Amino acid sequence: MAMGSFRRVTTSPFLRSVSILSGGSALSMAVPILAAPVLGRLYAPAEYGALAQYMAFSAILAVLSTLQFQHAIIAEGSLRAARQIVWLCLACAAGAALLVLVGVALAWPLGLSKTAAGAWIWMLPVSVLVAGVTTSGTFMANRMGRYRRMAAVPFLQTLTTVTLSITLGFAGWGSAGLLSAYFAGQMLQALAFVTYLRGASLGTIPAPALLWRRARRHWKFPAFTLPTGLAGQLNMQIPVFALTALGAHAAVGSFARARQLVSLPVTALGGAVSQVFRRDAAKQYHQTGSCRKLMLRTASGLFFLGLGPCLLFIAFAPWLFTVYLGPKWREAGEIAQILAPMLLLQTVVAPVTTIYYIVGRQGEDFALTLISMAIMATGIVAAVFLRFDPKSVILIYSAVFSVVYIVYLARSFTLSKRPDQ
C-alpha cells in the first residue's frame, strides 16, 4: 500500500511538471554560483551597487508593465480569451514603456542623473517593455504546460548574463560591464518569448473594444493586484534606497549580492513549484472547493528543502563569502546571515499566496501589503534619520518581512478551503 502511494506521488503530473521546471532552475542556479568566485574578484561591491540601483528601479517599474493582467491568462476559462489577454498585456507594456520614458526625461535633470547607474537609467523604458513581453510569454506557456521552454529560457538568460559579465570584467568595464550583461540577458529572454508567442496562434490583434471588455472583466487585477505588487516591490527595494541615502554604496552591492546568492539554493525549486501550484491549486479549488492538502504539502516540502541551506548560511556565511568570493565580500556574508531566515520564509510562502488570486481576495492582499509597507517604511526611515549602520537597517528589513510572511502563510491556509466545505 505504501509503495503504491509512493508510486502515485512520484508519477503525478504535478511532480513531473515541477521536476522539469526545477531542473532548469537548478541549472540556472548553478551557473552564477560556479561563476561567483571569478565575478567576486573582477567586481567590487560598489560596482554591484550600481547594478542593484538599476535593478531596483527596473523591478518596481516592471510591475506596471502589464497592469497585472497576466494573471487573467490563467484565470480565463477559454484559450481564445486567454490569447486576447496576452494582446492586452502587450498593449499595456507598450503604453507603460512610453510613460516611463516620459518620466525619465522629466526626472533626469532633477537628480536622476546622479544615481550610480548613470546614463543606463535611460534604458528603463526598454526594460519595462521587455518585462511585459517576458511576463506575458511566461504565463501563456504556463497555461499551455510548456514547462520545458519555461525551464530553458531562464537558463539561457543566466548563462548569457554571467558569461558576458566575466568577459567585460576582464576587459575592465566595471559597473558598465555588469549593467551591459544584465541588459543582454533581459533582451535574450524577451526574444525567446516573442518567438514563442508568434507560434502560439495568437491571431490578429483584437479590436480595442474587445480588449476593453476583457480589461473590464478582470478589473480587480489592476485595481488591487497592481498596487499590491508595487507596494511589495517597494518593500523589497527599500534597503537599496535606504543604504544609498546613507552613502553606503559598497553596502548596497554587498546587500544585493548576498540576497541573490542566499536566495538561489532555496528559491530554485520554489520558483518552479510556484508556477505549477498556481495552475493545479486553481483547478482543485474550483472543482472541489479546497486546495488545502496541496497547499500544506507544498509549504512543508519547501520548508524542509530550504532549511539546510538556511542553517548553513546562518552558521558560516561570513567565512563562506570571504573564501568563495574574496576578502572584500565579508560584509556580504554578514548580511547573508541576517537575510537567511527571511528568505527561507519567502520561499515557503510565495507559491501558496497565489491562493489570494484564486479566491478573489486581492483587496485583503493589498491591505496586508500596505500595512507591511507602512511598518517597513517607518522603521527604515527612522534608521536612516538616526544614522544607523547598514546592517541594522537590513536587520529591520529582515525582521519585518519575516513577520509578514508568517501572517500570509496563516491566511493562505484559511483561504485555501471554502467555509462551506
The average pLDDT across 364-386 equals: 88
Q: Which of 91-100, 145-154, 163-172 has the lowest mean pLDDT?
A: 145-154
Contacts of 245 (CB under 8 A, 6+ apart): 384
The average pLDDT across 87-92 equals: 96
Domain boundaries, the chain: 14-218, 219-421
Q: Name the helix (H) or strand (E) containing 197.
A: helix 175-198
The average pLDDT across 159-178 equals: 96
pTM: 0.82
Instruction: Give whole-number Cα distances, 71 to 9, 148, 226, 286, in Å.
Output: 28, 20, 11, 16
Residue that has been written with the C-alpha cell 532552475 in this structure:
25
Residue 267 pLDDT more than 80?
Answer: no
* Residue with more model confidence, 219 or 16: 219
117-139 per-position pLDDT tens digit: 789 999 999 999 999 999 999 99
Mean pLDDT of all residues in the chain?
Answer: 87
Of 231, 230, 229, 239, the closest CA to residue 259 belongs to 239
What is the spatial distance between Cα 294 and Cα 287, in angstroms, rounded to a whole number? Answer: 14
314-337 per-position pLDDT tens digit: 999 999 999 999 999 999 999 999
The average pLDDT across 67-80 equals: 90
196-215 per-position pLDDT tens digit: 887 767 878 899 999 999 99
Residue 183 pLDDT more than 80?
Answer: yes
Q: What is the pLDDT confidence band of residue 5, given thresholds at 50, 70 and 90?
A: very low
